[in-house]
Structure 1
Amino acid sequence: MPTLILASTSTYRKQLLDKLALPFETRQPHCDETPMEGESAEALVVRLAQQKAQSCATSSTANELIIGSDQVCMIDGHIVGKPHTREKAIQQLSQASGKIITFYTGLALYHSQTQQCDTQLDCFNVHFRALTQSQIEYYVDTEQPFNCAGSFKSEGLGIALFERLEGKDPNALIGLPLITLIDMLEQQGIQVLA
């Protein structure tokens, strides 16, 4: 059986992959995450997921299945990254208030021996409540979501920001679409329920 590798140091993605109860290792991916000129959000996340997975391969002789994932948040047609600061988080949530925000997650599964890479795109819509400035500031000060695209943690108090969630897999919102990943792993002979 191939060694399963998660090409991420994200604690959120590691916690998600832990749900599948499969042994895996984590590795730090190395790739330039700068969008290409005219690149769509969908193309960006798929490309980066693939590059992250491929960057973690140790050699073509190693029998490894490497999982790469990348995500962006779109508000008003613009890619929104991690806020990193309180002010930016407040600004992002103010922009999202009362709107439908789309998250695109690229997922790649790279087999180091065959050098084949399966890629998938997951789309997830978040319907935000109309939020007051004090609600936004309370949320940001409470959860400090500075390393989360879109400035919220749906697995925590962030759920209070939403009216409705719309998508195939709620795990995609956190950064790793497990339902799609299970299908991809099964195509490689790895059964999660075995």
Structure 2
Amino acid sequence: MPPLILASTSRYRQELLARLRLPFACVAPHVDEAALPGEAPAALAERLALAKARAVAALHPDAIVLGSDQVADLAGEALGKPGTHDAAAAQLRRMSGREVVFQTAVAVVAPGLAAIERAEVRVTVRALTDAAIETYLQADQPYDCAGSAKVESLGIALLDSVVSDDPTALIGLPLIRTCALLRRAGLEPLA
């Protein structure tokens, strides 16, 4: 069986993929994650997921390589990882009381195969006070998360609702779609 490689340095994606109990390695993809002019959030997530998988597959051509990316979509505007406390606070203030659509794409590149799947998660952020935002940011420090929140942690308290058909998509790797892609590449998680 060819080796499985996750084209990511994200600890969140590593933890999610580990749930499938398959041995895998992680390799940094070194891909420019800047959006192209006029690029829609869903297209950005798909392009980056495939670019990450292809970049690592070029170094490991006999492997099954998974790439993934997530973009928060606020009324058509892509919101990425905030990086800093101030940027995260600004993102959360903008998202307060609004629906945000998280576009999470996963791609597989393997010998003879390049395929991609995308999961969409609709999140309604409750109306947030500056004090609630500050309390949350001090607790979770989600500066490496698209949309400035960790739903798997205290970030759940920021939300009124989450709608998705792939529950891990919001954390950064849609495992239902990942399993389907792995099967297409000849790797059955339940074998």
TM-score range with shorter-chain normalisation?
Answer: over 0.9
Aligned 1:121-160 pairs, distance under 5 A: 121-160=118-157
Point out the more displaced range, 154-163 or 81-90.
81-90
Matches of 1:189 and 1:59, distance apart in 2: 20
1:38 aligns with 2:38: yes
Name the CA distance, whole Å, in 2 between partners of 1:66 and 1:160: 35
1:27 is displaced (CA, Å) by 0.2
Deviations 1:149-169 (A, max 9, x none): 111111100011111110111
Structure 1 residue 38: Cα displacement: 2.0
Note the aligned Cα RMSD (angstroms): 1.3
State the match for 1:99 in structure 2. 98
- Please state how far the C-alpha of 1:59 moved relative to its aligned partner: 5.1
After TM superposition, which residue ranges in structure 1, 4 or more long, deviate above 3 angstroms? none
Alpha-carbon distance, 1:58 to partner = 4.9
Q: For the residues of structure 2 that align with 1:43 and 1:76, how far apart are their CA atoms?
A: 14
> 1:83 maps to what in 2?
82
Question: What's the offset of the Cα at 1:56?
Answer: 0.6
More deviation, 72-81/15-24: 72-81
Aligned partners of 1:82, 1:191: CA distance in 2, in Å?
A: 32
Q: Percent identity?
A: 44
Residue number in structure 1 paired with 2:11: 11
Change (3 A) 1:59 1:153: closer
Q: Where does residue 66 of structure 1 map in the other structure? A: 65
Q: Deviations over 1:98-121 (max 9, x none)?
A: 11111111210000x32x210111
What SS is found at the alignment partner of 2:168?
helix
Give the superposition deviation at 1:71. Answer: 0.9
Structure 1, unaligned runs of 5 or more: none
Query: CA 1:64/1:91 → structure 2, altered by over 3 Å: closer, same or farther?
Result: same
Letter in 2 for 1:135: A
SS across alignment from 1:67: strand
Which digits, 9 at most, give the CA deviation of each residue in 1:112-162, with x for residues without a partner? x32x21011111111111111111111011111111111111110001111
Q: Secondary structure of 2:57's match?
A: coil
Whole-Å separation in 1 of the counterparts to 2:69 and 2:178:
13
Partner of 2:161: 164
Contact 2:40-2:76 at 8 Å conserved across structures: no
Q: Secondary structure at the match of 2:114?
A: strand
TM-score (norm 2): 0.95
What is the match of residue 174 of structure 1?
A: 171
SS in 2 for 1:66: strand
TM-superposed deviation, 1:188: 2.2
Kept in 1: contact 2:4–2:63 (CA 8 A): yes
Cα drift, residue 175 of structure 1: 0.8
